[in-house]
Amino acid sequence: MAMHTRSDGEPFGRLLLIDGDDAGAPLVAETLTQSLGGSLRITVAAGGRHAAELLRDTGFDIVLADLSSLHDLSERSDDAVGRLVRLADGALVVALSDGASVSAAVGAMRAGAHDYVVKPVSGPAMAARIGELAQRHGKARALSIEPRNAGRADFAGFIGASSAMQFVYEQIGRIATSSAPVFITGESGTGKDVCAEALHAEGPRFGKRLVAINCAAIPRDLMESELFGVARGAFTGAHEDRKGAAELADGGTLFLDEIGEMDLSLQSKLLRFLQTGTLSRVGESGVRHVDVRVICATNRNPMQLITEKRFREDLFYRLHVLPIHLPPLRQRPTDIMVLARHFLALYAAEEHKRFSGFSPEVASLLTSAEWPGNVRQLQNLVRRLVVMCDGGEITMPMLSAADIESRGVVAASEPTPRAERRQPILPMWQQEQRIIEDAIASFGGNVSLAAAALEISPSTIYRKRQGWAEMAAAS
């Protein structure tokens, strides 16, 4: 039996809810209907046998199965889930349970379920989760789900309504009002500079300056004068006193981007500045008092840099007071087309062109891409599309023409002979980090369930996260 998905003439996907609670099942169905905006036709089955009969006769796109309602199909819930998975023939299968049972979660996932959710079901959260699963498992086109009230789609320069970004927005909202240092981590292109600007804009220092300095872009011998300023006569060419970034940001925010690239000798002076709130310009004997909030960012693993003696441990703990980690784009696939449409409208207006959107083939390809350059890579691609094309709908030939990067989206999607495949080999800690973070994301942030699925203890994950997960960033 082939999986039934929505055809061009059918506006609804199909969801099968298996729940034997006569009073609770209609409430769950109503909650899902309200949150999914009527994009799915929901059928309720009272038990496992009834569900099996429906699956034999009708194709469904999604199956939500309450484990306590499957006993008439098999005494073991994992066996029942396995039978449903086979009958569902490619549908997304999500197991539901009244309790956060790790053994039930592991059994359901091993039997083939795509996810495990603890009841009671939150409509907006489930809608967002279904959307993410549809994107992750290549069913986005069959399930054009537009969740209602799933959260903010934009916030202080960020674009995205995924659960991962809602968490980031919440963190920024809580942290912005403080004056404590913030340590932002994330892969290149995830928006660390946007995060710093949001923290400044949402906080009490908004009326003052935000001064950013890129520690990787300034030569080592000039970095101290750029950061702390220089006194007249300090060296040849210093004809006048000049304030550094720290003084220019007095009363406001100092953003140190790529902090991991700062020279060790300057790190000690930065530590003293953080401890005392005073600085001395290069060539000056006196001290100046400065009031700034320090925000720093890196796309490196700070703990790895500390191990390699490239970053001072005492400076790290002085800066790492309020951490924020920005998730890579591959971990929030539901945001990809939201971002793509935003950039398309933005650059089309700049270039005075008219575009109607993306073809289904292009949208599917963009959604399934890995995006090693994250939002910046997607932004650059859409900008090239707008500049190189005249307008209308973005099609595959247009995408191929604009995708000029050496490891572009189109090239990455095309099959390559085995002998020619050369995937980059990541360091062991980065591979371990990605596996653990993806598992936690798959369980909606539930570390216990992720640990059970990985067959390790939760304490192992917490111990590793203490070292790098909160600041995880692939180089």
Helix (H) or strand (E) segment spanning residue 357 = strand 354-358
Is 434 found in the same domain as 363?
A: no
Is 372 found in the same domain as 435?
A: no
Tell me if 179 is assigned to some domain.
yes
Helix (H) or strand (E) segment spanning residue 63 = strand 62-66
Residue 313 is part of a domain; what is its CATH number?
3.40.50.300
Residue 230 in contact with residue 280, Cβ under 8 Å? no
Is 320 found in the same domain as 337?
A: no
Tell me if 3 is assigned to some domain.
no
**Residue-wise pLDDT tens digits, 55-103:** 888 888 888 888 888 888 888 888 888 888 888 877 888 888 776 555 6
Domain end (from 325, 357, 374): 325
% helix, strand, coil for the chain, step of 5: 45, 15, 40
Is 214 found in the same domain as 87?
A: no
Is 314 found in the same domain as 212?
A: yes
Its pTM stands at 0.60
d(CA 267, CA 274): 10
What number of other Cβ atoms are within 10 A of residue 145's Cβ? 25
- pLDDT for res 452: 67
Low-confidence ranges of the chain (pLDDT < 50): 1-11, 140-142, 144, 146-149, 406, 416, 418-422, 469-475
Tell me if 465 is assigned to some domain.
yes
- pLDDT for res 233: 63
Residue 266 in contact with residue 227, Cβ under 8 Å? yes
**Residue-wise pLDDT tens digits, 222-269:** 888 899 988 876 666 666 788 989 999 999 999 999 999 999 989 999
Is 228 found in the same domain as 117?
A: no
d(CA 281, CA 248): 12
Domain end (from 268, 293, 325): 325
- pLDDT for res 154: 81
State the SS3 of the chain. Answer: CCCCCCCCCCCCEEEEEECCCCCHHHHHHHHHHHHHCCCEEEEEECCHHHHHHHHHHCCCCEEEEEHHHCCCCCCCHHHHHHHHHHHHCCCEEEEEECCCCHHHHHHHHHCCCCEEEECCCCHHHHHHHHHHHHHHCCCCCCCCCCCCCCCCCEECCEECCCHHHHHHHHHHHHHCCCCCCEEEECCCCCCHHHHHHHHHHCCCCCCCCEEEEECCCCCHHHHHHHHHCECCCCCCCCCCCECCHHHHCCCCEEEEECHHHCCHHHHHHHHHHHHHCEECCECCCCCEECCCEEEEEECCCHHHHHHCCCCCHHHHHHHCCEEEECCCHHHCHHHHHHHHHHHHHHHHHHHCCEEEEECHHHHHHHHHCCCCCHHHHHHHHHHHHHHHCCEEEECHHHHHHHCCCCCCHHHHHCCCCHHHCCCCCCCHHHHHHHHHHHHHHHCCCCHHHHHHHHCCCHHHHHHHHHHCHHHCCCC
d(CA 245, CA 304): 28
Tell me if 217 is assigned to some domain.
yes
Residue 17 is part of a domain; what is its CATH number?
3.40.50.2300
| DSSP code, position 448 | H
* Beta-ladder partners of 41: 14
Domain residue limits at 302: 158-325
Is 317 found in the same domain as 173?
A: yes
Domain end (from 262, 292, 325): 325
Residue 115 in contact with residue 459, Cβ under 8 Å? no
d(CA 68, CA 248): 63
Count of domains forming the chain? 4
- pLDDT for res 346: 94
Is 195 found in the same domain as 299?
A: yes
Residue 357 in contact with residue 341, Cβ under 8 Å? yes
* Beta-ladder partners of 45: 18
- pLDDT for res 131: 67
Is 316 found in the same domain as 175?
A: yes
Is 346 found in the same domain as 305?
A: no
- pLDDT for res 138: 54
| DSSP code, position 195 | H
Is 283 found in the same domain as 190?
A: yes
What radius of gyration, in Å, describes the C-alpha atoms of the chain?
26
